[in-house]
Structure 1
Amino acid sequence: MALFSAQEAEYLSGPHVAPTRLAEIDLPSGLHRLHEGVGRISVNGHEWFGITTPGGLQLVDMEMVEDPRFGQAASVVITLGGITASAWKEIKSMAREIEGRRCDLYWSAWNPEYAEIEISPKKYFPGKISAPSLHRQGIGVRYATFTIESVWQSQNYPFGGEWSSTGQQKRYPGDMGGQFIGVKVHETFNG
């Protein structure tokens, strides 16, 4: 199945395409749908709030997903601004409950001429929230950063064994698959 339909691919080849990223964050206080643009937008029956929406969390920054180094899982850091003092205290007190909750990131195409979504949001990064990091400066600046870890994050831990025949026997008794680990093998083909 193609990622984009023929109509969407044709739109993407046009001169006025503005990408927008959206975040659907499942916090203990409820599901928050935020986008990195301005104002409110309605997409597929859901309302997404932008950075100028007063009185709530605002998605201020979202890093790009980078191809991780070998042995690491991909992650994205998002910054939520516009946090009131009570919301800041709530995030601080509920940090343990926030950790591990769902946060899905979406990509969409926005038509700036008509101020409407041209391509429905496509999930590009399903993830889980790590522990939030709270920041404040003076009495008026408060924001929180969340690292959104990919579903492969748990694969970063070592397996807890040795790559040897003995280690393989401890993990799987009777398995002879590790008997040649670390042994130099020389093969001669006759034929």
Structure 2
Amino acid sequence: MITEADKEKLRAPHIARAWFLDLQLPSGRRRLHTGDSQVTIGGYTWEGVVDPLGGTLVTLSEIQEARFGTAPIVRAVLSGAPVAFLKEVWDNDAEGARADLYWAAVDGETGAVLIDLTLLFEGRLTAPRFVWAGPGKSRVHIGIGIESINAALNFPSPNMDWTPAAQRARWPGDRGLDWVGSDIIEEYKA
């Protein structure tokens, strides 16, 4: 929630947003941000994944706010990342790893934090995939998705058949599901 004081801070010139990812890989916890060096914010040290001199870049897809009934996903593509990092994400079966996405507002000139870390949404990593790009599709990048923990919200639970017959098989004599979807009319008599 952005307060009135935060809105006033956001009216200043040269405001930049920064993205932070708290990633819990099987090999250990990594705190990453979309900058080029280590920063300390929110009481933690975050390592930058962008190296403009080394050619490492991260692109993030459009980020949607999590709303009731929706499960947003953010796609990230890492290009030129160090082989050790790519290997860690690829080899450690990172699919399903906890990945919480935060943002902060900073002054682009001084680097001062204007709005501290704010949790955008709690998520999980999708399976990493290779993304081929460049002339002749010769350059390879790695792509991951960070999907909201509510991504499976609208899927039925496994091994549960919600029909009247299945309910009676689970609980003999139970007729509770016989009336699901039926119009009920109550008549009051004086």
> TM over 0.5, yes or no?
yes
| Kept after mapping to 2: 8 A contact 1:26/1:102 | yes
Secondary structure at 2:166's aligned position in 1? helix
Amino acid at match of 1:99: E
Aligned to 1:133: 129
- Change in CA separation of 1:9 and 1:130 when aligned onto 2, cut-off 3 Å: same
- Structure 2, unmatched stretches of 5+, are none
Aligned to 1:74: 72
Amino acid at match of 2:16: A
Secondary structure at 2:22's aligned position in 1? strand
Q: Give identity over the alignment, percent.
A: 30
1:136-175 paired onto structure 2 within 5 Å: 136-137=132-133, 141-159=139-157, 160-173=159-172, 175=174
- Structure 1, unmatched stretches of 5+, are none
Amino acid at match of 1:131: A
1:85-124 paired onto structure 2 within 5 Å: 85=83, 87-94=85-92, 97-124=93-120
Amino acid at match of 1:114: T
Q: Distance in 2 between matches of 1:50 and 1:84?
A: 9
Q: Give the alignment's TM-score, normalised by structure 2.
A: 0.73
Mean alpha-carbon deviation: is it higher for 62-71 or for 99-108?
62-71
Secondary structure at 2:114's aligned position in 1? strand
| Kept after mapping to 2: 8 A contact 1:88/1:134 | no
| Kept after mapping to 1: 8 A contact 2:102/2:117 | yes
